[in-house]
């Protein structure tokens, strides 16, 4: 029996294994312990590639189809649907299956042993306010893990896993707010942790609050795209007869998981019809270029890169030259903060709701532990830490804390 922890993330995946008394993340791609949750089906070679290699294959223009943000499909009806790969259809469930199987196989090769037992991470809610869809999403992951060959599968909430990891570095008892803001979901726990409590079998009484919301970095990408890029492709552009362009295309193009749905002859024909009525047909021509050349993911990657750059810089131009030579979309930290203000406010509200679930005043929280890539966004950090102003801010391992915590839990459950 060999146990592991698996954090299948919307944007990044990690897998940890047990080594003596400790845990470590496996190198899943070259020396990297994170594997971007991306699959590229190469039409020429007729095989899937994963992670950074998938994105690189797409960017270099290999003929094929890129899929990212697959976890956001869990809990929606899409999970039971197919997507078209040339003349072949493949279900989303199978695509996630190929990805999980790949991560497992790479880790097994490094370890020299088969992985049989897994503690699988899951967000507190895959879908907001729909317990049935939530159960379906967990069942889909269980089915996928079984299909990949795991014999024993159990789940742990991602923020609780992060708490277990953080607990290993505490020197005294603390009440900690764990904030895990990832690509697809934002999860929060308020927990009582400390060296004395670590490793106890039943921690239920130490979990004072646990909640989450389906907001994450891919939403911030979508909102930045709609704000800064899509207007250059005709979003909200006027048509003759006092109308504007239909906005569904732009929302899909700005949403990682939906980009491929736009690449149909029917959509292209519709865009051409609308172009004929546009006050500025040039804008719709750009949209036409994006659809005919399948540039949707190129744009989404540039928007995401700009969002990340704006965590360090005040302004960043998004280079749209693949769509039209010389075309740039300026973006600033201020415009980004404005575009994401509404969901960021909801994150702050969720912290307040967790405090009230826990029956605590903000000043009773000793530490706020930040993990997940989106806690690197200044607007997000400020909103969260601002709700617990007296707590010390602990910078967690942004991409590894959840996977390591799931592995600690695997050691406890199966070790």
In the complex, the residues that contact ligand ATP under the rule CB under 6 A are: 9-12, 71, 158, 182-185, 216-218, 304, 307-308, 311, 372-374, 376-377, 399
Q: Which does 309 bind (CB under 5 to 8 A by kind): ligand ATP, Mg ion, none?
A: none
- Check residue 182 for interaction with Mg ion (CB under 5 A): yes
Task: Map residues 128-167 to x or -, x wherever contact with Mg ion holds by CB under 5 A.
Answer: ----------------------------------------
Closer to ligand ATP at the Cβ: 125 or 275? 125
Nearer to Mg ion, 51 or 182 (CB): 182
| Smallest distance, ligand ATP to C-beta of residue 291, A | 24
Q: Which does 217 bind (CB under 5 to 8 A by kind): ligand ATP, Mg ion, none?
A: ligand ATP
Q: Which position among 3, 8, 9, 177 is part of the footprint of Mg ion (CB under 5 A)?
A: 9
Q: In this structure, are residues 273 and 308 in contact, taking their beta carbons and an 8 Å threshold?
A: no
Q: Which of 51, 79, 78, 87 is nearest to 66 (CA)?
A: 51
Shortest Cβ distance from residue 42 to Mg ion (Å)? 27
Nearest CB to ligand ATP, comparing residues 158 and 211: 158
Q: Identify the helix (H) or strand (E) that includes residue 119.
A: strand 117-122
Tell me if 398 sits within 8 A of 375, measured CB to CB. Answer: yes
* Residue 364: CB atoms within 10 Å: 15
Answer for the pair 388, 348: CB distance below 8 angstroms, yes or no: no
Three-state secondary structure call for residue 55? helix
Is the C-alpha dihedral spanning 264, 183, 237, 330 positive or negative? negative
* Residue 307 binds which of ligand ATP, Mg ion, none (CB < 5-8 A, kind-dependent): ligand ATP
| CB-closest chain residue to ligand ATP | 217
Q: Are 188 and 210 in contact (CB under 8 A)?
A: yes
Q: Smallest Cα–Cα separation from 117: which of 80, 78, 156, 82?
A: 156
Residue 181 Cβ vs Mg ion, minimum distance, rounded to whole Å? 9
Whichever of 162 and 320 has its CB closer to ligand ATP, that residue is 162
CB of 363 to Mg ion, least distance (A): 29
Which of the listed partners (ligand ATP, Mg ion, none) does 308 bind, with a CB threshold of 5 to 8 Å by partner kind?
ligand ATP
**What b-and-e string marks burial along 122-141, b requiring 16 or more CB atoms within 10 Å of the CB?**
bbbbbbeeeeebbebbbebb
Residue nearest to Mg ion (CB): 182
For the CB of residue 402, give the shortest distance to ligand ATP in the complex, in Å.
7
* Cβ atoms of 320 and 329 closer than 8 Å: yes
Could you tell me how many residues make up the chain? 415
């Amino acid at each position: 029996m060999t146990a592991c922890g698996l954090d299948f993330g919307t944007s990044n995946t990690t897998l940890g294994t047990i080594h003596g008394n400790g845990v470590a993340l496996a190198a899943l791609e070259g020396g990297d312990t994170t594997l971007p949750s991306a699959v590229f089906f190469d039409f020429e070679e007729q095989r899937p590639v994963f992670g950074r290699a998938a994105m690189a294959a797409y960017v270099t223009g290999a003929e094929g189809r890129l899929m990212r943000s697959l976890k956001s499909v869990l809990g929606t009806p899409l999970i039971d649907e197919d997507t078209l790969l040339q003349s072949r259809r493949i279900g989303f469930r199978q695509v996630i299956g190929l990805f999980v199987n790949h991560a497992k196989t790479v880790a097994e090769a490094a370890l020299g042993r088969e992985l049989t037992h897994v503690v699988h991470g899951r967000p507190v809610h895959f879908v907001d306010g729909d317990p049935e869809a939530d159960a379906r999403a967990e069942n889909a992951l269980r089915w996928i893990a079984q299909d990949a060959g795991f014999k024993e599968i159990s789940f742990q909430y991602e923020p609780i896993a992060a708490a277990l990891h953080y607990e290993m570095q505490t020197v005294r008892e603390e009440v900690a707010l764990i904030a895990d803001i990832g690509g697809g979901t934002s999860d929060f726990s308020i927990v009582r942790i400390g060296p004395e409590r670590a490793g106890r079998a039943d921690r239920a009484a130490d979990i004072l609050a646990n909640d989450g919301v389906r907001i994450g970095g891919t939403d911030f990408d979508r909102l930045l795209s709609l704000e800064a890029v899509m207007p250059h492709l005709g979003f909200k552009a006027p048509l003759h007869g006092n109308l504007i362009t239909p906005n569904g295309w732009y929302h899909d193009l700005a949403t990682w998981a939906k980009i491929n749905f736009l690449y149909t002859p029917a959509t292209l024909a519709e865009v051409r019809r609308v172009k004929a009525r546009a006050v500025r047909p040039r804008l719709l021509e750009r949209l036409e270029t994006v659809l005919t050349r399948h540039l949707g993911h190129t744009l989404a990657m540039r928007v995401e890169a700009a969002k990340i750059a704006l965590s360090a810089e005040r302004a960043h131009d998004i280079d749209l030259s693949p769509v039209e030579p010389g075309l740039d979309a300026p973006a600033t930290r201020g415009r980004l903060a404005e575009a994401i203000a509404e969901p960021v406010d909801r994150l702050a509200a969720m912290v307040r709701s967790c405090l009230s679930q826990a029956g605590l005043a903000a000043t009773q929280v000793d530490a706020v532990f930040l993990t997940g890539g989106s806690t690197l966004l200044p607007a997000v950090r400020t909103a969260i830490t601002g709700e617990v102003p007296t707590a010390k801010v602990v910078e967690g391992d942004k991409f590894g804390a959840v996977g390591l915590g799931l592995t600690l839990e695997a050691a406890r459950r199966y070790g």
